[in-house]
Structure 1
């Protein structure tokens, strides 16, 4: 079976769980930006863990299958339509051969995940089918007219775990509110959209003043329009450093809150670099990193220390 891309919308890329274990080669894990929404999409269509799906930013995606297919859309409140007929949010849909499947622009949230039973069977690079936009590794961004192969349907598709339920992401401005999804482990019911993002302080919290730590955990920050899958750039109060010497480059992970010399934090997302040369004041929990992945420009973010 194949999927033909009719339209990509603002940005559509191929994503899976990523390619961990290659940092020594200068290659970051990458993978889906909202890992929980991606994992839930695969689970809902009965795919094995790690199957590749489409990550669609702000809707606009249109595709067609040459054979009957089973699909689902997760991650935002965008609507999936089949030949113009609207489906329910996160409804698993049987699509007839030749029907046009479209993703509307979401009112809340940023990234939607379109999974098809069998997964996208494009050639893997270093063991992953994820497009890493920073490193330029993985399959190219799909373009209108491209035909993508679909893998064989699992012999016995398993139903989604009840724990893989939707949740809400950081709230945005009235014109650009946002919604998101839990980590792959799931959550017990919907999250408060205004709830702070949980972080663990460090590893370089000691490089900042006590006032900067207090500001991080009490002030509100706004997502900048210059944000992308590499990192969320935040506008707001400056986080002052207690130490001004150079920090040797060291490894960073998804969710790291790095603070460059201007004092405005950057939250690393899935396509982050392998190393960073500015101190990391805190690191988001995996679930908080998923919620941050759905924050549009203008979204208001707050941080709180994660409970032990």
Structure 2
């Protein structure tokens, strides 16, 4: 599917997709090369802008957070004004994801909040601050998100049944100051070395290791992956917003299974709002997207009521824990 980089780069990107915190030596062993070559190639992919960042994936509901999205249709806004708006959103601690898109909407904002009331206040503040430029807002409440590994990077079928997950009932898992700081730093850069985190927090390395292991064991940290500039890889990204009515849990399970088997479907989201399902699909061209959607519509002809298609242009922020870096006083 990807033709703009060589096989070794694809293999390295795939390992980063599986676990971005793997060491150079671990990746080298799996890609049958040296750790020096792995480091050189990762640095080169970053310099070219192909690698945007390394993303730590956490399950927010365990920390008491729910996920929401705002789909914005804009009006009378210049490129300069749009950039000012986006930069403002990037500074907002409750905003985890920002992309521009083409279709029914122009901008999508992913937010996190403790409850619907807080989400309502965030939404209202955004509309108040930018009412001049916002023509329409459609809010959606996420139920859960299944992040599926991008095995298409190496033209491979999915075999690992585990997918990093955001969802479940909200809980009240208590993070101490150091755990918040660790999550904050790793969500900015999932490959940040523990020794560097320890130095910044003025903490023994063993203490950082211990807390990190605890966060993984307690399923706060679901995994890590690489965020790519897909345009440079000649990949087109689409978001499909669906209204689906399943007659049984078995039929919904079949939908999830078929989505898992289709390598190009990289996220499956259940929501409440104007649509109740969302698919993120990566393809090489619109023909491939049409083939995937035709197959889905044929297999779920009675269930799929309607859908809308958005093409994603550019990602400006992607952070599962956008809370500002903490400065703990002790460890």
TM-score, structure 2 normalization: 0.27
Larger radius of gyration: 2
Higher relative contact order (CA 8 A, sep 6+): 2
Task: From the two aligned structures, give the one with the greater helix fraction.
Answer: 2
TM-score, structure 1 normalization: 0.29
